[in-house]
Amino acid sequence: MLIDTTAFLGPYPWRQVPGTTPEEVLAVMDRVGIREAWVSHLPAIFWRDPGAGNRWLYRVAGEHTRLHPVPAVHSGLPGWRRVLDEAMERGAPAVRCDPTFYGLAPSGEEVRALAAACGETGLPLMLAVRLEDARQRHPNDGAGELPPWAVRQLIRSHPALRLLVTHAGREFIEEVHFGSTPEEAQRIWWDITWVWGPPEDHLQTLLGTVGTERFVFGTGMPLRVPENSVAKLDLLDLTSAQRAAIQGENARQLEARPA
Amino acid sequence: MGLESVTLPEAAGLSPSPDPVQIPTMLIDVHAHFLHDRTPRADWRERNASRLRAGGRIGITTHIGSVLGSWGMTSPIYFPSPTDLEYGNDRLLDLQREYPDRIRGYVCVNPNDTGHAVREIERCLGLGMIGIKLAASRRANDPLLDPICVLALLHGVPVLHHIWQHRSREYPGQEASDAAELCELAARHPGVNFLLAHIGGGGDWLHSLHVVRLVPNVYVDLSGSGVDGGMLEACLEAVGVTRLLWGCDLTMDTGLAKLRCLEHLLPPDQLESIKWTNAARIFPSGAFQSSSPPTLPDLC
């Protein structure tokens, strides 16, 4: 069963992107064969307070059981811990934070506080390295990419924290994985959205060096066409067990569980 | 320059993909690259073999490749020396001879040495290459490219030009061009067909699509790592199916993804145009095995 951990709903501020409504995303999921999707509210990443996006997300998820809300937490705002409480109450598989878009230091005090709270509650924290290729970003889209050192610092900041890092490429993943202790590395999951397939074979290499158990299926849709992530799997030499792990079982292992 | 033998997943004890990957009929990748022994890549054999193996799974019938000199080993990737160009082109000719049914070549030249570029084009086209590759050695609208385009017209081959989609500044290591600069060149040489390289290869692809919309001898190569939602629709809207060419460049997974998306966007006959008949129309007659010269379909 395919579980997309990195889907978005809602329009993108920097260009027109087709298919951003829940119904359209569900139709594309059917087209590609994705059973469930963890969805984030795309516009809220750019808002001063993503809270209104979370409310919309919960409402949509209530109407569409295949969509699982990943609420956004801006830990620089007062009262952010309530977002975590609500996420637990509503059964969110994870929460996300996009510190560079909020103007927060990626591993600064506010984000470390969120990381600690996630570690204490058992909620995985999702962090995106990027949303778009840096070479094509809008001239006014100036938020920096998530740096690998921030991920290394965050995973060390709390012993129970579990991270899902999305939209990372091979070099980023290797730097963080091998720049962490084995125990720390076991608490980081990576989505395959930004990892190259053949002929460079970055994904095949990483599955061998970092481990199949560390990777989850993700598409980044609708900013990216979801067929790409399926194509990556189709072009790999995988056992059926490996494929099942990436397609959904690893995500099931990762999703929120009470601390 | 033999490639390593290709091991099929079944032979390695692995289960085949649950969904059939291969898409039947002809499929031409207009933007492939190959490596050789005098590049910085110790894994050059594996990468070449991986391209052919993935191509087999996807159903690619012809990889039209180029070699950018020594890929930085003994001269810069985008400013290759004459010696490196000759060596790279020779290795590509070796591959073309070794895989005559699957690999065809663009002769790669550096227009800054016009005399060498002209000689190398004549030499390699004479040995069976089917196109000219220009990377980022000289701005596309520079007069130094004119003699190269004259040769392209003379031999009836297209020119694949590396493009930075909306180059808004200079980038180190290359004298990159964008669609506007390529279209200036295309306007000076209306009898030559140009391939605007990798629309998904980085930069503002919408800018490029606005520029090429009304330039009939510029084709959009769909390759590149970018698989942005809406990009394929925008390509179709800008130039129609008759000026789109399928390709992969450095990421074959994105090529397969675009193909699968296009299957949902287009009826089968129009998809064939992008998969191969457009390419068969602009490359020399007989360039591809089992292809007959297609007529322009009644599209768009």
Report the amino acid identity of residue B49: A
Contact at 8 Å (CB) between A110 and A75? yes
Instruction: Render B208-263 in DSSP notation, one character per residue.
Output: HHHHHTT-TTEEEE--SS--BTTHHHHHHHHH-GGGEE---TTBHHHHHHHHHHHH
How confident is the model over B150-171, as a mean pLDDT?
Answer: 96
Q: Which helix (H) or strand (E) element contains residue A191?
A: strand A188-191
| Residue tagged 């610092």 (tokens) | A153
Cβ contact (<8 Å) for A224 and B251? no
Six-digit token string for B245: 């060419």
State whether A223 and B229 contact (CB < 8 Å). yes
Nearest CA in chain B to A228: B257
Predicted pLDDT at B207: 97
Residue B290's pLDDT is 62
pLDDT in tens, A65-104: 999 999 999 999 999 999 999 999 999 999 999 999 999 9
Angle at which helix A170-178 crosses helix A148-157, to 10 degrees, equals 30
- Give per-residue pLDDT as tens, A190-213: 999 999 999 999 999 999 999 999
Of residues B57, B204, B256, nearest to A136 (C-beta): B204
Token readout for B11 is: 């032979």
> In this model, does residue A32 exceed pLDDT 80?
yes
Residues of B in contact with A228 (CB under 8 A): 227, 253-254, 257
Is residue A256 very low, low, confident or very high in pLDDT (cuts 50, 70, 90)?
confident
pLDDT, averaged across chain B: 91
Average pLDDT over residues A155-159: 98
Could you tell me which residues come within 8 angstroms of residue B186 by beta carbon, excluding any fewer than 6 positions away?
B192, B194, B215, B217, B218
Residue-wise pLDDT tens digits, A120-131: 999 999 999 999
For residue B25, what pLDDT is reported?
80
Confidence of residue B4 (pLDDT cuts 50, 70, 90): very low
Bridge partners of B228, per DSSP, are A224
Cα pseudo-dihedral B47, B53, B58, B61, rounded to 10 = 100
Write the residue in A199, A201, A221 that is nearest to B229 by C-beta.
Answer: A221
Q: Which of B18, B227, B229 sits opposite A17 (nearest CB)?
A: B229
Q: What is the mean pLDDT of chain A?
A: 97
pLDDT of residue A47: 97
Residue B24, SS3 per DSSP: coil
Please report the pLDDT score of residue B10 as a whole number: 40
pLDDT at B124: 98
pLDDT of residue B16 exceeding 50: no
Please state whether B65 falls in left (phi above 0), alpha (psi between -120 and 50) or beta.
beta
pLDDT per position as a tens digit, B106-115 = 999 999 999 9
Check residue B117 and give its pLDDT.
98
CA distances, B180 to each of A174, A229, B168, B200, B208 (Å): 38, 33, 12, 17, 7
How much is the pLDDT for B7?
39
Residue type, position B237, single letter: E
pLDDT in tens, B193-219: 999 999 999 999 999 999 999 999 999
Distance, in Å, from the CA atom of B79 to the CA atom of A168, rounded to the nearest integer, reads: 30
- With 0-12 / 13-18 / 19 or more C-beta atoms within 10 angstroms meaning exposed / middle / buried, residue A78 is exposed
Asked whether the beta carbons of B78 and B174 are under 8 A apart, the reply is yes
Question: What does the pLDDT read at residue B289?
Answer: 75
Alpha-carbon gap, residue B258 to B234, rounded angstroms: 13
**Alpha carbons A36 and A4: distance in angstroms, whole number:** 6
Q: Tell me whether residues A15 and B233 touch, CB distance under 8 A.
A: no
Which tokens hold the place of A166? 């999305």
Neighbours of A163 (CB within 10 A): 23
Interface of A with B (CB under 8 A): 15-19, 31, 33, 132-133, 135-136, 139, 196-201, 221-225, 227-228, 230-235, 237-240, 243
Identify the residue among B164, B168, B227 best suited for mutation to test binding to A, counting A beta carbons within 10 A and taking the highest: B227
> Which residues does chain A have within 8 Å of residue B229's beta carbon, measured at their own beta carbons?
17-19, 221-225
Average pLDDT over residues B157-173: 95
Res B300: pLDDT: 27
The alpha carbon of residue B166 is apart from the nearest alpha carbon of chain A, in Å, by: 9
Question: Could you give the ipTM of this predicted complex?
Answer: 0.96
- Chain B residues closer than 8 Å to A239 by CB: 14-15
pLDDT classification of B24: cutoffs 50, 70, 90: low
